[in-house]
Structure 1
Amino acid sequence: MSGRIARLVTVPDVVGLPFHVARDAASEAGVALANPDPDGPPIGVLAWPGLFYVVRQAPEPGAVLHEWDSVAVEVVRHGDMPDNQATRILPLPPADSAQAMPERMARVDLTDYER
């Protein structure tokens, strides 16, 4: 018997989420988050104490794994993400005429200010 009995599950997208939220989303999907370094400490040790965000994951979202297989994630402490780090770009809201448009703000010229 060479096949696995575990059911197949879909990997969720956890990049950009706080670690504790990503861990819960992964658990609900039926996968476990793990350190990308198999010889390193458990991912829970790397993401504690404090607020950590997931910046990379493998395999990619939408991949199909057996239930409780590992998804390797890289985490960074809140505030430690480099400026050139890829971040999740949210889609723009729909542009339709029903949306409120901000009014142009009046500008005050302070160059003619007299003391």
Structure 2
Amino acid sequence: MSWMGPSTAREVTVPDTVGLTVTDARTVASEAGVALAAADPDGPPVGALTWPGVWVVTAQTPAPGTRMRRWGSLVIEFEKVPDGGTGEREPRPPSP
């Protein structure tokens, strides 16, 4: 069994999640070996803050390309996409 040095085994490169939906950002982060987190460590988790609806990542810390420990927290800021991002609205009855 070969041994990997501490920096290669325990560090990952932070992905760029800005502009992605929170759902897609979670997948990208997980594949990179980091965990999404909200800015308030004592507050609700990202999943609770971004449900229901479609939310997009607007900022992240640390920056993309930064090296960090595996499964460390990638803190994101996010905002809700109006109308769920589909552009469709609920039908309205015609005016009289």
Same fold by TM-score greater than 0.5: yes
C-alpha separation in 2, matches of 1:44 and 1:70: 14
Listed as ranges, the gaps of 5+ residues in structure 2 are: 1-5, 84-96
C-alpha separation in 2, matches of 1:41 and 1:50: 16
* Higher RCO by CA contacts (8 Å cutoff, separation 6 or greater): 2
Write out the 4+ residue segments of structure 1 that deviate beyond 4 Å after TM superposition.
none
**SS of equivalent to 1:68:** coil
Per the alignment, residue 47 of structure 1 pairs with 50
Structure 1, 24-33 or 45-54: larger mean CA deviation: 45-54
User: Alpha carbon RMSD of aligned pairs, Å?
Assistant: 2.0
Do residues 13 (structure 1) and 16 (structure 2) align?
yes
TM-score of the superposition, structure 2-length normalised? 0.75
More strand as a share of residues: 2
How far did residue 19 of structure 1 move?
0.6
Residues 59-98 of structure 1: pairs in structure 2 closer than 5 A: 59-79=62-82
- Aligned residue pair count: 78
**SS of equivalent to 1:44:** helix
More helix as a share of residues: 2
C-alpha separation in 2, matches of 1:57 and 1:77: 16
Greater Cα radius of gyration, structure 1 or 2: 1
How far did residue 79 of structure 1 move?
2.5
TM-score of the superposition, structure 1-length normalised? 0.63
